[in-house]
Amino acid sequence: MLPDESLAIIQKIEEPLAQEKGIQLFIKREDLIHPEISGNKWRKLKYNLEEARSQGYFTLLTYGGVFSNHIAAVACAGQEFGFKTIGVIRGEESSKENPTLSRASEQGMTLHFVDRTSYREKNSPTFLAQLKQKFGDFYNIPEGGSNCLAIKGCREILPRSENYDYVCISVGTGGTIAGLITTKSLESKMLGFSSLKGDFLKGEVENLIRKCLLSEIQPWQVISDYHFGGYAKFDQNLISFINDFKKNHQIQLDPIYTGKLFYGVINLISKGFFTRGSKILVVHTGGLQGINGFIYRYGQLIEKPK
């Protein structure tokens, strides 16, 4: 089954709080593109896969943590599109039995585990030379998939036929929001909701745009108030919100990215951040495979996706 972008429909969310505040709330269902290569992971990989093929590569190599959505997506994409895949994993080999890595292995990905110190050197020429000596030639995809070709793919997320006052999206490595804020023919303010603790993401996004010789077209900001303590951190408020959202809207969110995104959007609505009459589009970037890893670590706090 190949990814199908036409499945990424836009739905109106009938959220009582938004209605009370005079806000129209919509969701772009990028999570529906594919069961495993979903959302921004497909958008980031799309043109990288084309480039790898055009350059004659047969192997994709990339990087990530032991529960990485990106690792999971690359493994599946390799199987679907006929590439060998290698995942350079930050962590211990004992993690290979977790749901993310065991699934990646099932799909043919070779897992190469490195410690945190070595992982920090992943972009150095010496580290890359060692990988090529071990694995042979490969097409190199950065952690999270964020490069210039990823930005090109992410620029195709938003519909051109209708404008929104705000477009909201979760932010991890910055490639997705970099695509959105460099998209022409839009008149929306882009709000990125950071899943990581700290204020460094704005600089990361700016560096990525500069590296790709692009220009910021849309106004934007990164909101860092809803990371719940940092990457993969959570509390019962977040878990309850995710479960209630699924019950009320029949839409599954994950606790790493999209749950924090929607929690932040609803909380800002309650605080009057958005003016009455605003139209808000929230982009669901997928990543639901991460729920299996979350359950693996913490138990059945969230319903397992079907």
The pLDDT of residue 158 is 87
pLDDT in tens, 34-68: 999 999 999 999 999 999 999 999 999 999 999 99
The pLDDT of residue 218 is 86
Average pLDDT, the chain: 94
Arithmetic mean of pLDDT, 108-129: 95
Residue 254, pLDDT > 90, answer yes
d(CA 279, CA 276): 9
d(CA 100, CA 94): 13
Residue 200, pLDDT > 90, answer no
Residue 185, pLDDT > 80, answer no
Arithmetic mean of pLDDT, 162-190: 89
Question: Which amino acid belongs to residue 114?
Answer: V
Query: 5-36+153-298: what CATH class?
Result: alpha beta
The pLDDT of residue 36 is 95
The pLDDT of residue 81 is 97
Residue 5, pLDDT > 80, answer yes
d(CA 193, CA 198): 12
**Confidence grade of residue 161 (pLDDT, cut at 50, 70, 90):** low
pLDDT in tens, 64-89: 999 999 999 999 999 999 999 999 99
**Residues 39-145, CATH architecture:** 3-Layer(aba) Sandwich (3.40)
Within 13 Å of residue 172, how many CA atoms lie on the same side as its CB?
22
Within the chain, which residue ranges are assigned CATH 3.40.50.1100?
A: 5-36+153-298, 39-145
Beta bridge partners of 70: none
Range in 154-163, 214-223, 264-273, 286-295 the model is least confident about: 154-163
d(CA 226, CA 260): 6
Question: Which amino acid belongs to residue 270?
Answer: S
Arithmetic mean of pLDDT, 244-270: 97
**Torsion sign over Cα 146, 55, 108, 76:** positive
| Residue 172 and residue 202 in contact, taking contact as beta carbons nearer than 8 Å | no
- SS3 state at 35: coil
CA torsion angle 254 258 260 264 (round to 10)? -150
**Confidence grade of residue 107 (pLDDT, cut at 50, 70, 90):** very high
**Confidence grade of residue 241 (pLDDT, cut at 50, 70, 90):** very high
Question: Which amino acid belongs to residue 245?
Answer: F
Note the Cα 3 to chain centre separation in Å.
16
| Residue 256 and residue 140 in contact, taking contact as beta carbons nearer than 8 Å | no
Arithmetic mean of pLDDT, 105-119: 96
d(CA 15, CA 280): 12
Residue 186, pLDDT > 80, answer no
The pLDDT of residue 306 is 62
pLDDT in tens, 20-40: 999 999 999 999 999 999 999
**Confidence grade of residue 184 (pLDDT, cut at 50, 70, 90):** confident
The pLDDT of residue 198 is 82
Q: Are strands 166-171 and 24-29 parallel, antiparallel or unpaired?
A: unpaired
Distances (CA, A) of 243 to 199, 230, 252: 29, 20, 8
Residue 305, pLDDT > 70, answer no
Residue 4, pLDDT > 70, answer yes
**Confidence grade of residue 180 (pLDDT, cut at 50, 70, 90):** very high
